[in-house]
Amino acid sequence: MNIDVDFFNQTHSFFKDVSKEYLLPNIGNLKKDQISEKSDNSLVTEYDLIIENELIQYFNEKGFANIISEENNSDLHDYNHFLTIDPIDGTRNFINGINKVVIMVSFINDNKSIFSIIYDPIQNNFYHSLDDKIFKNHKLISAKKYYHHIGFLGSHAKDFFKNEIPEYTEKQRSRSIGYDVIEILEGDRTFMTIYGSKIWDLFPAMSFLNNLNFNSNLDSFDFDFKILNKKIIFYAKI
């Protein structure tokens, strides 16, 4: 597999085409029989499954054989080398016609993020992290300077994280981890909390926030499976 400029340009074009065909026409336009509830009480639509299959086929053809995804999370055969896919991060937003949905991908090798992608189909903005750098539409993003904390701590998290974020302006989460990360990249949010998330949500977010040199209550940013049940906060240095 070649992870180079052509790879990201081709992937951006593919994500745009898939979104144009399956995602954009159906935001807020689903029928009841196109939505089902999973065992963990989260929702899935037929377009989650369609887009996921399209992405799996695309990345298989690019040489990525070991894939774990939100709707097809069978056991990995190699826990040191795998690709994660979240076909629609923000499924409830997708169902309810809220334009805060993204596609997320992350490639992990030997406990390190090689690259991650967050794609905003509404704005056709393609963010990717690679080699400790972050790009928006294939142009390098300069680090933001944050002056005041903006974000959301639920009542159950305020005591837990009060030492990290003592004062802040409240901004509700978007109900999409990937979209929250985009708001951080654009300077509209300075921290986010994650708990009980799956690796297809967590690892792409970690990749971007790690490259931003965000603080965290984690001991390390290791991309392993021990962190999935922890309460995690990522916050800008102010």
Candidates 152, 147, 158, 156; CA nearest to 175 is: 152
Q: 3.40.920.10, 3.30.540.10, 3.40.1280.10, 1.20.272.10: which CATH number matches 5-140?
A: 3.30.540.10
71-80, 96-105, 127-136, 162-171: segment of lowest average pLDDT: 71-80
Angle between helices 199-211 and 177-185 (to 10 degrees): 10
What average pLDDT does range 97-114 have in this prediction?
94
Taking only Cα atoms into account, the Rg of the chain, rounded to an integer number of angstroms, comes to: 17
pLDDT above 70 (res 75): no
Q: pTM of the predicted model, to two decimals?
A: 0.94
pLDDT above 90 (res 41): no
Scanning the chain, the segments in alpha helix (DSSP H) are 5-18, 46-61, 91-96, 155-161, 177-185, 199-211
pLDDT above 90 (res 44): no
pLDDT for the residue 170:
94
Candidates 127, 126, 46, 123; CA nearest to 87 is: 46
Indicate the average pLDDT of the chain. 90
Model pLDDT for residues 150-188, shown as the tens digit of each residue: 999 988 888 888 888 999 999 999 999 999 999 999 999
Which string of b and e fits 73-112 if b means at least 16 CB within 10 Å?
eeebeeeeebbbbbbbbbbebbbeebebbbbbbbbbeeee
Tokens of 24: 């954009």
Domain ranges of the chain: 5-140, 150-235
Same fold, 5-140 and 150-235: no
Q: 2.60.40.1180, 3.40.50.720, 3.30.70.990, 3.40.190.80: which CATH number matches 150-235?
A: 3.40.190.80
9-23, 192-206, 220-234: segment of lowest average pLDDT: 220-234
The residue with tokens 């965000």 is 214
